[in-house]
Amino acid sequence: MTLTVKPIAILDDNYAWFLRDEATGMTAVMDAAVVEPIADFIAAEGGRLDWLLITHHHGDHIAGIAELAARTGAKVAGNAADARRLPKLDVAVKPGDLFQFGKSEARIIDTPGHTRGHISWYFANGEALFCGDTLFAAGCGRLLEGNAEEMYASLAKLAVLPDETRVYCGHEYTLSNVRFALSVEPENLPLQAFGELAKSLREKGEPTLPTTLATEHAINPFLHARDVAHFAAMRSAKDSFR
Ligand code: ZN
Ligand code: FE
């Protein structure tokens, strides 16, 4: 394993993710939406910040980037197709690109649905998937710009990655996702067990993430949708679920 990943819990329920390529010491933060907590975290990790990486343009994923880049000199990388609504990019990536991060390498996957320009960053051999607001533990992102067809296709692209892939999502939405998932699949035993585990982690103030694709295949009702229409119905049911 060459990539170390740590959560930085920010805002109400967001995660910025700290990455370090252990072979070279290169570091990055995915979705740096705030300044001080992330600057403090970087200082505690030795003060090095090479990259600020972006999944999508929402403020709760990018609002700290310009300031952090100015302070640290870190370079910014995000989707070329969304450049006009992202902070100034030093490297504009495209779906299919390989992004070199020290001795690690991420493949850029186009995952529209939550937003039109949403991308995911996949580090090979299942080491890590940063999927922003596309796939969540036991859930998926809202369709804010894209449609059900796009999100269904995006989730399908992520679902074929290796089972052992560790999935680093943009939010701590797990408990509310589990409540909805159990309303769809009340008899799902792995889902019930996952819900209990998630609850005890949250009671201790710990993240429920990362999840893995193997876990998500077992527990995530959105990955069990038969077709786009089934997925669309489930997604709109979740939108109004209380
Ligand atoms: Zn978002
Ligand atoms: Fe978000």
pLDDT tens-digit profile, the chain (242 residues): 689 999 999 999 999 999 999 999 999 999 999 999 999 999 999 999 999 999 999 999 999 999 999 999 999 999 999 999 999 999 999 999 999 999 999 999 999 999 999 999 999 876 899 999 999 999 999 999 999 999 999 999 999 999 999 999 999 999 999 999 999 999 999 999 999 999 999 999 999 999 999 999 999 999 999 999 999 999 999 999 98
Global pTM exceeds 0.85: yes
Helix (H, G, I), strand (E, B) or coil at 125: coil
Question: Per CATH, is 3-239 categorized as 3.30.56.10?
Answer: no
pLDDT of residue 88: 98
Which of the ligands is closest to the CA of residue 171?
2
In order, the DSSP letters of 20-73 are EETTTTEEEEES---SHHHHHHHHHTTS---EEE-S---HHHHTTHHHHHHHH-
Residue-wise pLDDT for 88-105, tens only, equals 999 999 999 999 999 999
Which of the ligands is closest to the CA of residue 56?
1
CA gap 28, 94 in Å, rounded: 19
User: Ligand 1 centroid to 95 CA: how many Å?
Assistant: 19
User: Ligand 2 centroid to 24 CA: how many Å?
Assistant: 30
Which of the ligands is closest to the CA of residue 13?
2
User: Ligand 2 centroid to 198 CA: how many Å?
Assistant: 20
Which of the ligands is closest to the CA of residue 33?
2
User: Ligand 1 centroid to 107 CA: how many Å?
Assistant: 20
Looking at the annotation, which residues are catalytic?
A: 56, 58, 60-61, 114, 133, 171
Which of the ligands is closest to the CA of residue 57?
1
pLDDT of residue 1: 60
User: Ligand 1 centroid to 118 CA: how many Å?
Assistant: 9
Residue-wise pLDDT for 48-87, tens only, equals 999 999 999 999 999 999 999 999 999 999 999 999 999 9
User: Ligand 1 centroid to 78 CA: how many Å?
Assistant: 14
Nearest to 16 by CA among 26, 25, 7: 7
In order, the DSSP letters of 154-218 are HHHHHHTS-TT-EEEESB--HHHHHHHHHHH-TT-HHHHHHHHHHHHHHHTT-----EEHHHHHH
User: Ligand 1 centroid to 23 CA: how many Å?
Assistant: 32
User: Ligand 2 centroid to 60 CA: how many Å?
Assistant: 5
